[in-house]
Amino acid sequence: MRTDGPVRRCDGATTDLISTAYGQRPALPLTRCDDGQEHDRLMWVLLGIALIVAGFLLRFNPLLVILASAIVTGLAAGLDPLTILSAFGKAFNDSRYVSVVWVVLPVIGLLETHGLQERARGLIDRMRGATTGRFLTFYLLARQISAAMGLISVAGHAQTVRPLVAPIAEAAAEKQAGALDEEQRDEIKAWAAATDNVGVFFGEDIFLAIGSILLIKGLLEQYGILLEPLQLSVWAIPTAIAALLIHGFRLWRLDRRLNAQGAKAHLPETAEDAA
Amino acid sequence: MITLHWVYALMGAVFAGYALLGTADRSNPRRFTTAAFWALLALSMWAGDRIGDIGNGVLVLGLVAIAGFRGMGRGSGGVSLAQRQARADRHGNGLFAIALVIPVTALAGTFLFKAFPAWIDPKQTTLISLALGVLIALAIGCTWLRARPIVALQQGRQLMDSVGWVAILPQMLASLGAVFALAGVGDVVGGIVRLAIPDGSLLGAVIAYGVGMALFTIVMGNAFAAFPVMTAAIGIPLLIHQYHGDPAIICAIGMLAGFCGTLLTPMAANFNLLPAALLELKDEYGVIRRQIGTALPLLCVNILLIYWLAFR
């Protein structure tokens, strides 16, 4: 910990959260000022990142790691502890909307205790030709298209993946491969969540009014480059197609693996029956 | 006017309900500290705007203290598989219909509520309609399944307990991002990336931009934080000014290169760790593992797309 008191930031110290977050200072940071203290500060600031990486890798409780990193980073930047605490508290309060997704848990709990996941199994059993890969590819495409229309929060991990997509994918995998052990069950659930992420990430930027498109437009304006959102969002289409192809291919290979496992599991069984 | 604060009030009530029900759960060895955690979150939802920035900071310290010193536990119990199977057969596909009420309401609300900007905050229609969808689904579900609302809250609490402190991880990481921004971490990283670019190589600059976007997003957990830094450090001075690239293509696809990084990092907790908790996966990085095989090839595609399309 530093003992020589807080170091003021050499660019004037009145750091405004938003302007720093969105980089409104076109900065050439390593050359901005070159006294020893600045160099010191840089090293400490990076220590905060190193702490996070090490903490996640060594699997310490992430909440403690985050707090420690915030303290180290803040002190390195010459902020006093109370400023760090209030900056952290303010940001925590401002980002409460992130936690609104948990509001769906009572509905999921109610439906699951009345047999939602078991019902998903029944549904898949009656659908011929339904496989994990095909179902998830269909979901991927549907998610990309709806996100491209701006419908981001219509689906999601709490809204659709846990109650619908994961149980259906799991049921389909069981139909293909026979009984799954817990690890495989987890893998299929993780595929469902991953597919949701890929779908929304590489669909949403096709929509004009999404935050990232507006951020690009706003940033470029500061450099005197004026663009319409549409000029930006059309260039999200090639990547969206590539994402569909790459992830779809991987889901097709997942299907082949599950089918092979099913075929293998099936053979000894019939041989046993014959004996 | 209905604003996000109505949703926060609802969330506060739900968390307070979890806390109250939790204190009665004798199967949870840490029921009181677990309940205290949800009670603090209820306080945050209800009074977060009134207790000041330092008050919120102290509240966070309390949450971290409970979670960091193993104060969170979960009870046992639940309905047996045979019973659930029997109920599934009895209720049929109507269960899906209720599950679909939530996305359908969110969809309808997103469009309809925009027509009533005087009554419903037009900027928050999606979250408001999400909460509304939950209330409608609960009303229909409890009526049709003949369950008391307390059953839904109790089941919700058990799910919430199994998620545990991971519930606030996304909010915590967002707050860390704010401190990183305040400390100027972005400037430092941007400067280091600039040092790594070989002179006079267009492909080298494009790779540095794309990989830099992905790497910095991995560190920050958010492509929005990486984009201004990388664009100021490489995109504008090199790709646009020196090599005369098309800014729309460079920036639009550069942002997507950052999204590839989002798929790879535990720092993006709401996308990667939250679902692992919600799906009760043993491996908290299970979702990230499934995403690596898509994210890395897609990052290469993005870099090549910029190289081919932006400099014609």
Q: What is the pLDDT of residues A218-245, one digit of tens each?
A: 888 888 898 888 888 899 999 999 999 9
pLDDT value at A271 more than 70: no
Among A84, A88, A162, select the one facing B279 at the smallest CB separation.
A162
- The predicted structure's pLDDT at residue A47: 87
Give B304's contacts in chain A (Cβ within 8 Å). none
Average pLDDT, chain A: 80
Domain limits, chain A: 17-94, 100-274
Q: What percent of chain A has pLDDT over 90?
A: 39
User: What whole-number distance in Å separates Cα of residue B194 and Cα of residue A213?
Assistant: 25
Give B249's contacts in chain A (Cβ within 8 Å). 235
Name the CA dihedral angle for A238, A241, A246, A249, rounded to a multiple of 10 degrees.
-150
Tell me the mean pLDDT in the region A101-112: 89
Give A69's contacts in chain B (Cβ within 8 Å). 176
A184 touches chain B (CB under 8 A): no
- Measured CA to CA in angstroms, residue A24 lies from A90, B181, B232 at distances of 21, 12, 9
pLDDT value at A59 more than 90: no
**Looking at per-residue confidence, does B281 or A19 come out higher?**
B281
- The predicted structure's pLDDT at residue A28: 36
pLDDT tens digits along B31-83 = 999 999 999 999 999 999 999 999 999 999 999 999 998 889 888 877 777 88
pLDDT value at A13 more than 60: no
User: What whole-number distance in Å separates Cα of residue B213 and Cα of residue B225?
Assistant: 9
pLDDT value at A32 more than 70: no
- Sequence-distant (6+) residues with CB within 8 A of B76 are B27
Which of B63, B80, B172 is the best substitution to test chain A (most A C-beta atoms within 10 A)?
B172
Burial class (CB in 10 A: 0-12, 13-18, 19+), A129: exposed
A148 touches chain B (CB under 8 A): no
- Sequence-distant (6+) residues with CB within 8 A of A260 are none
Q: Which pair of structure tokens corresponds to residue B14?
A: 């739900």
A183 touches chain B (CB under 8 A): yes
- The predicted structure's pLDDT at residue B87: 86
Distance from CA of A105 to the nearest CA of B (A): 5
pLDDT value at A270 more than 80: no
Residue A272: pLDDT band with limits 50, 70, 90: very low
Among A107, A122, A231, select the one facing B137 at the smallest CB separation.
A107
CB atoms within 10 A of CB B174: 20
CA-angle at A250, arms to A252 and A202, nearest 5°: 115
| Residues 66-125, chain A, touching B (beta carbon < 8 A) | 66-67, 69-70, 73-74, 76-77, 79, 82, 84-93, 95-119, 122-123
pLDDT tens digits along B198-228 = 778 899 999 999 999 999 899 888 888 888 8
Give B306's contacts in chain A (Cβ within 8 Å). none
Give A187's contacts in chain B (Cβ within 8 Å). 286, 290
Distance from CA of A266 to the nearest CA of B (A): 25
pLDDT (tens, 9 = 90+) of chain B, 312 residues, equals 888 999 999 999 999 999 999 999 999 999 999 999 999 999 999 999 999 999 999 999 999 999 998 889 888 877 777 888 888 888 888 888 888 888 888 888 877 888 888 888 887 887 888 899 999 999 999 999 999 999 999 999 998 998 899 889 888 887 887 888 788 887 787 778 778 787 788 999 999 999 999 998 998 888 888 888 888 889 988 999 999 999 999 999 999 999 999 999 998 988 999 999 999 999 999 999 999 999 999 999 999 999 999 998
Distance from CA of B16 to the nearest CA of A (A): 13
pLDDT value at A153 more than 90: no
Give A119's contacts in chain B (Cβ within 8 Å). 88, 91-93, 95-96
DSSP annotation string for B249-308: HHHHHHHHHHHHHHTT-TTSHHHHHHHHHHTT-SSTTHHHHHHHHHHHHHHHHHHHHHHH
- The predicted structure's pLDDT at residue A209: 66
Radius of gyration of chain A measured on its C-alpha atoms: 25
Looking up tokens 């209905």, which residue turns up? B2
A143 touches chain B (CB under 8 A): no
Which of B158, B163, B166, B182 is the best substitution to test chain A (most A C-beta atoms within 10 A)?
B182
pLDDT value at A214 more than 90: no
A26-30, A132-136, B24-28: range with highest mean pLDDT: A132-136
Tell me the mean pLDDT in the region A49-78: 88
- The predicted structure's pLDDT at residue A171: 92
Distance from CA of A209 to the nearest CA of B (A): 12
Q: Verify whether the Cβ–Cβ distance B152 to A107 is below 8 Å.
A: yes
- The predicted structure's pLDDT at residue A224: 87
Tell me the mean pLDDT in the region A114-141: 86
Tell me the mean pLDDT in the region A185-206: 96
Give B186's contacts in chain A (Cβ within 8 Å). 20-21, 23
Among B84, B171, B255, select the one facing A98 at the smallest CB separation.
B171
- The predicted structure's pLDDT at residue B137: 94
Q: What percent of chain B has pLDDT over 70?
A: 100
User: What whole-number distance in Å separates Cα of residue B162 and Cα of residue B148?
Assistant: 22
Q: Verify whether the Cβ–Cβ distance B173 to A27 is below 8 Å.
A: no
Which of B191, B290, B209 minimizes the C-alpha distance to B256?
B209
Domain limits, chain B: 1-167, 184-309
Q: Verify whether the Cβ–Cβ distance B174 to A151 is below 8 Å.
A: no
Give A204's contacts in chain B (Cβ within 8 Å). none
Residue A33: pLDDT band with limits 50, 70, 90: very low
pLDDT value at A29 more than 70: no
pLDDT value at A17 more than 80: no
Amino acid at A272: E
pLDDT value at A26 more than 60: no
DSSP annotation string for A110-161: HHHHTTHHHHHHHHHHTSTT--HHHHHHHHHHHHHHHHHTT--TTS-IIIII
pLDDT value at A46 more than 60: yes
